[in-house]
A and B are shown apart, each in its own frame.
Chain A
Amino acid sequence: MARPGKPPAESWTGRLPDLGTGLVSYEDSISPEFYELEREAVFRRAWLNVGRIEQLPRKGTFFTKDLPVAKTSLIVTRGLDDRVRAFHNVCRHRGNKLLWGETPRHETRGSCREFMCKYHGWRYGLDGSLKFVLQEEEYFDFDKADFPLVSVHCEVWEGFLFVNLADEPSQSLLEFLGPMVRGLEGYPFHLLTERYAFRADLLSNWKIFLDAFQEYYHAPILHSQQQVPALRNFQTGFKVPHFQMDGPHRLMSTGGWKGVPRHMTPAEQMYPIEHVTEAGLMGPWERPDIPELDPAALPAGLNPGGLDPWSISNFQIFPNFVILVYERGWYLTYQYWPTSHSTHTWEMSFYFPPSRTASERIRHEVTAVVSKEAGLQDAGTLDGTQLGLESRVIDAYPLCDQEVTVRHLHKVVGDWVRSYLREGKEVPV
């Protein structure tokens, strides 16, 4: 039977014959051996988002980013020439981690002209060059120019900082992102600088949480309370009217809960806090009066399915980075950083235009709080999914048409691992 919201006689899965329609194994999410392959095949070959340009507001600002999945830590910095560079966070002298926070296991950020090692005081410029060696004359056949920090490929796209840990990436960042993700170009990310950032250590493989946020089939069940009791209905149809895949990346666009944006919902059909503050899960009801955020000014690639009404586009950028852009003039990001085959660190950030009044700030707070509570339900379930999969009672699972994104992610990860085993450097295109 056709479900409301589903295009007639369509199968999203069927449009991508390579995906097939068969049962899917999640061995890729419970196998320590697969995880070891994935570290090399995926996380050392793909471009990885490690932050935003606003984290480097001035020359000499830096932050560290620990990447347990690649067994390394990075320094990302803005040089005196304004160029953004990334380096492995390791001193050339005796291998000490160069910069850290409270302990060597904590990240740090700040502003400086030179990075100094806490161990023997070697100092490096913001361009990575070795500037000072204590008692340099005691070394043998020594030239400081031979010992710069080990650099990492780093590119900035629309203010997002990406790194690639390969010696020579087989694709440029723009080639890797491809036309669908690049459809976001021109969105005024630079104006949305009021950030709320969260971190969580979660008890599942990274892909299991990605899966939870890339289908909305679960929403009326796990998040039934997003509706007031009178409106709860477990048969809410086909929730995503537009899917798109491009290379390893995925896009889903929605038109809002049951096709009605939250700000157009009658008062008795929402919770009192939303009604009194005029904000909720989908953001503040009023779009900010910023010309760059007017729908007419937004890039066409933001809503490539041309949905009307349109409320969210969810860009799943391979492997572990998600950007959700909301029609109400804000966006959020997720990053999933594996820490073992069965655990990961998850990061979420909300970005709004800077509040000009207390009311605006209060509305942002409502959205940040309500959205976190929904996310806690998703995260709380992961532990159970990981336990169920690890029982290995079942080795193949069905996926429905609106879980096409889940099918795609596991297929792509498998393709990347197979191509790594076969060819090494070149990533699948």
Chain B
Amino acid sequence: MSTAMLPEEFAECEPFAAKWCIPTEAARYAERLNSTIAEMQLFYDAMYPRVRDAMAHLDKFSLHELPDRELNLLHLVYSLIMVSLPVEVWHQPTVIDSGTAYFDRYLEPSP
């Protein structure tokens, strides 16, 4: 039996699933701050080219009845969004000029 977390069409993203399939923004933000820009770049390089495919794949399911692997894939896309600005813009895990500011997202839709 396969232990894959993601749908098989996304097998090349599987090495990143254990670290980046994270259901809440608060935990994704924490993971980003605990990661190096090199780690995020590797994940980004694997995941970015598959974002449109992932959106098309997920749209075949009802958002509120996603099977486990599809739910993981959705969370992986959320993490891609979380690392995109560090990789594309800031070139560091934190936002440039954000000082000591911290915004806590305490309410969000699920999934």
- Residues of chain A touching chain B, judged by Cβ–Cβ distance below 8 Å, are 194-200, 202-203, 222, 225, 271-273, 276-277, 348-349, 354-359, 361-362, 364-366, 368-370, 372-373, 375-377, 379-384
**Bound complex: CA A199 to CA B107 (Å):** 10
Selected contact of B99 from candidates A273, A348, A365, A380, CB within 8 Å? A380
Measured between beta carbons, the chain B residues less than 8 angstroms from A271 are 84-85, 88-89
Contact in complex: B103, A356 (CB < 8 Å):
no
**Bound complex: CA A349 to CA B96 (Å):** 23
Most buried by A among B59, B88, B100, B109: B109
**Bound complex: CA A81 to CA B37 (Å):** 56
Across the interface, name the chain A residue whose C-beta is closest to B109.
Answer: A194
Contact in complex: A358, B61 (CB < 8 Å):
yes
Across the interface, name the chain B residue whose C-beta is closest to A374.
Answer: B95
**Bound complex: CA A373 to CA B78 (Å):** 15
Contact in complex: B99, A197 (CB < 8 Å):
no
Measured between beta carbons, the chain A residues less than 8 angstroms from B109 are 194-196, 354-355, 361, 364
Contact in complex: A198, B98 (CB < 8 Å):
no
Cβ of B46 within 8 Å of any chain A Cβ, yes or no, is: no
Contact in complex: A196, B100 (CB < 8 Å):
no
Contact in complex: B59, A376 (CB < 8 Å):
no
Measured between beta carbons, the chain B residues less than 8 angstroms from A197 are 105-108
**Bound complex: CA A198 to CA B103 (Å):** 6
How far, in Å, is B1 (CB) from chain A's closest CB? 26
Q: 10 smallest A-B Cβ distances: which pairs?
A: A380-B99, A358-B58, A379-B101, A273-B84, A197-B107, A380-B98, A376-B98, A380-B101, A198-B103, A359-B55
Measured between beta carbons, the chain A residues less than 8 angstroms from B85 are 271, 273, 369-370, 373
A376-B51 contact, Cβ under 8 Å, with A196-B105, A358-B66, A365-B78: no
What are 26 residue pairs bridging A and B, where the CB atoms are less than 8 Å apart in the complex?
A: A195-B107, A196-B25, A196-B105, A197-B107, A198-B103, A198-B105, A198-B106, A199-B103, A199-B106, A200-B101, A200-B103, A276-B52, A277-B51, A357-B63, A358-B66, A362-B55, A362-B77, A362-B78, A365-B77, A365-B81, A366-B81, A369-B82, A376-B98, A377-B97, A377-B98, A380-B99
How far, in Å, is A328 (CB) from chain B's closest CB? 17
Selected contact of A381 from candidates B61, B97, B105, CB within 8 Å? B97
A380-B97 contact, Cβ under 8 Å, with A200-B103, A355-B63, A358-B59: yes
Contact in complex: A359, B58 (CB < 8 Å):
yes
Which B19-73 residues have C-beta < 8 A from chain A? 25, 48, 51-52, 55, 58-59, 61, 63, 66
Question: Known pairs A194-B109, A277-B55, A376-B103. 10 more at Cβ < 8 A?
Answer: A199-B103, A225-B89, A276-B52, A277-B51, A358-B61, A361-B63, A369-B85, A373-B98, A377-B96, A380-B99
